[in-house]
Every structure is written in C-alpha cells, then in structure tokens.
Structure 1
Amino acid sequence: MSMFFRKGVIATTGLFLCIFLLVHLSANALLLLPEETARGLYNSYSATLRESLIISVIAYLIYLSIILHVIYSAIVTYRNRKCRIGKYAVNRKSEYSTWASQNMAVLGTLILIFIVVHLANFWARVKLGIGEQVGVDSNGNTDVYEVAYLLFNNIYYMLFYVILMIPLGFHLHHGLKSAFKTLGFYHKKGLKILASVALIYAIIISVGFGIIPLIVYFK
C-alpha cells in the first residue's frame, strides 16, 4: 500500500470530519438559547439524529472516518520518523515547516484523548445507557440537553473541553491546508486563499466549541 494512498485516506477522512464539525458546532450553539427554547430544540435535534436511518448511516461513516484517520495517521507518522536520517534532517525540516506540521502526531493524540473522554461522558451515556440514567423532557424526548448542561457545569470537564480546543485549532489549520495539496490541488493563488480559509475555519471551530462550555458554565 503506497504512501500516497495512506495520505489520501487521511486527507479525505479529514475533510469529511471538517464538515461534520461545522454541523456539530451549529447544534451545540442551540445550548446558548434560553432554556425554555433550547431544551426542546436540542432534544428534538438529538432524537432526529438517533431515529433517522440516513443520519445513522452518516454517523457510522463518521466513526469509520475517525478510525481510519487515526490508524493511517499513525502509520504515516511512524514511517516518516523511521525514514529520517540523523539530526541534520530534523533541523533542516524546521526551516521550511511550521510548528503544527512538525507536531501533528502530538496534536492528534491530544484530540484523540478528547474524543474518547467526550464519548465516554456523553455518547456512551445517551446512546448506550452507560452510567446514570438519562431522563426525558416534556415532549418525551431523551433529555440530552440536561446531560450537556451538567457536563459543562462540571468545572473539570469544562476546563478539559475548553483547553483541548487549542490543539484542535492548530490541527485543523494545518490539516485543512495540507489535505488539498495531498489530493493534488497545487494552484498557487488558490492555495493562498485556502490557507486563509483554513485559518478562519480553525478559529471558528476551536473558539466556537471552546466558548460554548464557558458561557454555559458562567450562566
């Protein structure tokens, strides 16, 4: 299996996950609405996600994308490190690459830790019924809103969530720029525009996800 194929998988799954993050952020933004409005909307949205066959298929594609992204990123990182020859090569690399590009493995590992903790505290409880039982709202929907609010009102979880948005921002900024190059896009002017778009996107996602728990906590 060629290195080009591995990097192509990383780029493709990464772009797919970038789309998912935008949708996920828009859903989380509902938590900022007044409680009487937000609870019903957020729980209805969550119920739709769980009950829709199409959304279920997309959800499994997201899980598969995360797994493939992690596995192939680990393989590429391992092979790149194995191919480095001496300290000189490492020093030369720093001359033409950013800090984020040199530390994508570290950033990715931090994000993976975040995903595991987040799924264990949120997804596993709502989807699998693990842990404390989740109640229902006045419409009979699983009260996912309550779960989210309780988590974000836990100062340790809130700080963990907010701080881990920093490596996410760096990872997204470099990853989004690199993905298009990996897939063969080398238009000079287009790459400059993409670099700006990647920066804006990374800021919106990382700040957006990071500020919601803070607002919820200090409400």
Structure 2
Amino acid sequence: MSIFFRKFIIAATGLFLCIFLIVHLSANSLLLLPEASARGLYNAYSTTLRENPLITAVSYLLYLSIIFHVIYAAIITIKNRKSKGTGYRVNHKQENSTWASQNMGFLGVFILLFIVVHLVNFWARVKLGIGESVGLDVDGNTDVYEITYTLFHNIYYVLFYILLMIPLGFHLHHGLKSAFKTLGFYHKKGLRVLAKISLVYAFVMSIGFGVIPLIVYFK
C-alpha cells in the first residue's frame, strides 16, 4: 500500500471529522441555554441521532473514519520514526516544518485518550447500557442531558476535558491545512487563506469545546 494512499485516507477522514466537530460543538452549545430549555432540546437532539436511519448510517461512517484515521496515522508515525526518527507529517516537503507537524502522532495519542474516555462516559452508557442506568426526561427521551450535566459538575472531568482541548487545537490547526495539500490543493494564495481559516477553525473548536464544560460547571 503506497504512502500516498495512506496519507489520502488520513486527509479524507480528517476532513470528515472536522465537519463532525462543527455539528458536535453546535449541539453542545445547547447546554448553555437555561436548563428548562436545554434539557428538552439536548435530549431530543440525542434521540434523533440514535433513531434516524440516515444519521445512524452517518454515525457508522464516523466510527470508521476515526478507526481508519488512527490506524493509518499510527502506521505512518511508526514508519517515519523508524526511518527518520520524526513524527508523521501529512504535509509535503516544501512546507516549513512546525512543532505540530513533527508531533501529530504525539498529539493524536492525547486526542485518542480523550475519545476513549468520552465514549465510555456517554456512548457506552446510552447505547450499550454500561454503567449506571440512564433515566428518561418528561418527554420520554433518554436523559443524556443529565449525564452531561453531572459530568460537567465533576471538576476532575472538567479539567481533563479542558486540558485535552489544547492538543486538539494544535492537531486541527496543522491537520486541516495539510489535508487539503495532501488532496492536491496547491493554489499559492489559496493556501495562505486556508492557513488562516485553519487557525480560526482550530481556535473556535478548542476554545468552544473547552469553555462549555467550564460554564456549565459554574451554572
């Protein structure tokens, strides 16, 4: 399997995950509303994600994207470390090397840790029924809001959540702009604009996800 194919898979799945993060952050923003409104909207949204066939199909695509992104990134990281002693880069040789580009694999380990903890606390409880039982709200929807609200009032989880948004920001900043280059986008002016967009995107995602649990904790 060629190195280009592996980088293509990483780039394509990475861009799909970037789109997912926008949707996910939008949903998390509901938590900032007063509880009377937030609980119903958040639980209705979660129910729609679980019961809509089309969204269910997209969710399986999401799981596969995470798996392939992790596997191929790990393969490239290991190969590069063996051959050059450096972390994987989804960019090209012409690009100036940055700390993030040299440590994407390292950053990815922290993000993977966050995903695992996140899935255990949410997905495993709601989808698999592992752990404490989840109740229903007044509308009969699974009370995912209660799970989220409880976790975001655990200072250790909140600190863990916030700290892990730092490597996420670095990973997104480099990953987004390099993904387009891997897919063949080389317009000089366009790349400069894309670099700025990547910075703004990474900032909004990391700060957005990091601030929400902090706000909920002090509500």
Q: TM-score range by the shorter chain?
A: over 0.9
Aligned counterparts, 1:32-181, within 5 A: 32-84=32-84, 96-181=96-181
Q: Which residue number in structure 2 is paired with residue 29 of structure 1?
A: 29
Deviation at 1:96, TM superposition (A): 3.5
Counterpart of 2:12, as a letter, is: T
TM-score, normalised by the number of residues in structure 2: 0.95
Q: What letter matches 1:105 in structure 2? A: G
TM-aligned CA distance change 1:85 to 1:99, over 3 Å? closer
Report the alpha carbon displacement of residue 6 of structure 1 after superposing the two structures with TM.
0.2
| Paired letter, 1:158 | V
- The CA RMSD over aligned residues, in Å, is 1.4
Deviations 1:183-210 (A, max 9, x none): 0111100000000000000001000000
Deviation, 1:17, is: 0.2
Alignment match, 2:210 = 210
Distance in 2 (alpha carbons) for counterparts of 1:202 and 1:59: 23
How far apart are residue 85 of structure 1 and its match?
Answer: 7.4
Query: Which deviations, in whole Å up to 9, do the C-alpha atoms of 1:126-173 show, x marking residues without a partner?
Result: 111110000100001000000000000001111000110000000000
Give 5+ residue unaligned stretches, structure 2: 87-92
TM-aligned CA deviation for residue 84 of structure 1:
1.4
Q: Give the structure with the larger helix fraction.
A: 1
Q: In 2 relative to 1, CA 82–31 (structure 1 residues): closer, same or farther, beyond 3 Å?
A: same
Extract unaligned runs of 5+ from structure 1. Answer: 87-92
User: Structure 1 vs Structure 2: percent identity of aligned residues?
Assistant: 74
Q: Which residue of 2 aligns with 1:182?
A: 182
